[in-house]
Amino acid sequence: MTCRHLATLSAGCDTAFTVDASRVTFGRGALAEVGDRARALGMRRVALITDARLRALPWFEHVMQSLTAAGVDVAVFDEVAIEPTDVSFEAAAGFARDAKPDGYVSLGGGSVIDTCKAANLFATYSAPLRTYVNAPIGDARPVPGALLPHIACPTTSGTGSEVTGIAIFDWLEHHAKTGIASPRLRPTEAIIDPRTTSTLPAGVVAASGMDVLCHAVESFTARGYAQRAAPAVPSARPMSQGSNPWSDLGCREAMRLVAAYLARAVHDASDAEAREQMMWAATLAGIAFGNAGVHAPHAMAYAVAGRVRDFAPAGYPSAPLVPHGIAVAVNAPAVFRRFGEFCPERHLEAAALLGADTRGETAGGELLARRMFELSRAIDIPNGIGGVGYRESDIGDLVAGTLPQQRLLANAPCDVDARCLETLFAEALHYAD
């Protein structure tokens, strides 16, 4: 095993954690509140960011009616790409500059909400794209000030983007997935109407549900906030501040809900209770990981998604593509099996929350890995990175694509280097059924 225990830290470590979250309104019919909420935030002319599929669904009309009834003028941008790119970010920012809104509403999945964050950022503070993009690919400059208000209305039960300050995209010329991370990007409000998930294809519910599960388990097993070096300015701690008591609350409940409802939500689109509970699990896990941060499975997912060859998942029109939730889920069992020894009691508790029989057990890595795999196979998630088209000869390339994700790797419960990642990818090629 090549992942190393953290040196025992105490002097010089952080001693506090911060709780940040968007204002959340959750429940069936909540989309009817968008117009009044926009007015209350001072909006008179909004940029409504969505995609072509959503525009044809009733949820778009619900939002338009609510905004119009409140006397809010609306400019619509419906050209968001699934898995956005630097090009689609720039297109949305260009639209926003021309539209001159005084606020934003996003209606869609993580791709739409992330694109809206980028449009708000670059229309407010015009700069070359690389300026605010995470290092090492970008310059990682801090966002200089507040953005315009943004009401995010998620329509998938997965990314948690409506409550986080992260925007992810494919930077085409670098062949890399990367992102922008700043508390300034966090939407002002999230209006979460679980009815929107009734129109989701099963494959999308499955992939986004695994994303929820990984947000919860990774945040729960992340390095503790008091094991991270204190920031030079005490109040400037990173958003990925490590596992903490606040995030633990949401993680535990999200894990319990996913175990109870994910398979039901995938296999029966008419099971409104299951789809609503998955939306609530996504909200809780989003708030949790927005404060704790995820780690190795997400870091590895950047490479898995970014180097796709010909994988074409059901429910996603634009292939080839490895949906984010699948790109994360295929790595997760290998990571939890290996990392279990670094915080055995947390891995054991997570396994128990997911329904594993943990009686008489003292270490949970193996149990958690097996349970994650069972849950993913029950909803037809591909088996390992081999299931989305990778071979042993790709491992070096996947490691190289993961190492730049230091923001996430540094949040793992142990030190992660290239040899550790080689081991993890090799074990993630294919899991024994």
Interface ranges with Zn ion (CB under 5 A): 211
Q: How far is the CB of 285 from Zn ion (least distance, A)?
A: 9
Q: Residues 363, 192: contact at Cβ < 8 Å?
A: no
Per-residue burial over 2-12, b if 16 or more Cβ lie within 10 Å, else e, is ebeeeeeeeee
Task: Dig out the tokens for 203 from the structure.
Answer: 């494959």
**Distant-in-sequence, close-in-space partners of 130: CB < 8 Å, separation ≥ 6:** 137, 138, 139
User: Least separation, in Å, of the C-beta of 266 and Zn ion?
Assistant: 17
Both structure tokens of 154: 């998620």
Least Å distance between CB 387 and Zn ion? 18
For Zn ion, the closer of residues 124 and 164 by Cβ is 164
Give min distance, CB of 156 to Zn ion, in A. 11
Q: Which residue has the tokens 């296999």?
A: 267
Least Å from the CB of residue 211 to Zn ion: 4
- Sign of torsion, CA 245 246 249 252? negative
Among residues 77 and 220, whose Cβ is nearest to Zn ion? 220
- Strand pairing report for 73-77 and 150-154: unpaired
Shortest Cβ distance from residue 192 to Zn ion (Å)?
17
Q: Which is nearer to Zn ion, 14 or 211 (CB)?
A: 211
Q: For residues 155 and 197, is the Cβ–Cβ distance under 8 A?
A: yes
Cβ at position 362, least distance to Zn ion in Å: 30
Determine phi and psi for 414, rounding to 5 degrees. Answer: -145, 170
Cα–Cα dist 35/151, whole Å? 10
Find the residue with minimal CB distance to Zn ion: 211
Residue ranges of E strands in 41-126: 45-49, 73-77, 103-108
Q: Measure the CA angle with vertex 33, ends 190 and 199; round to 5°.
A: 70
In sequence order, the β-bridge partners of residue 168 are 179
Q: Tell me the C-alpha distance between 370 and 365, whole Å.
A: 9
Q: Which is nearer to Zn ion, 35 or 293 (CB)?
A: 293
Q: Indicate the residue among 211 and 427 with the shorter CB distance to Zn ion.
A: 211
DSSP SS3 for 77 = strand
Q: Whose Cβ is closer to Zn ion: residue 43's or residue 118's?
A: 118
Closer CB to Zn ion, 194 or 293, in the complex: 293
Q: Which is nearer to Zn ion, 83 or 211 (CB)?
A: 211
Sign of the Cα torsion 22, 294, 322, 405 reads positive
In the complex, the smallest distance separating the C-beta of residue 169 from Zn ion, rounded to whole angstroms, is 14
Q: Which of 146, 197, 147, 149 is nearest to 27 (CA)?
A: 197
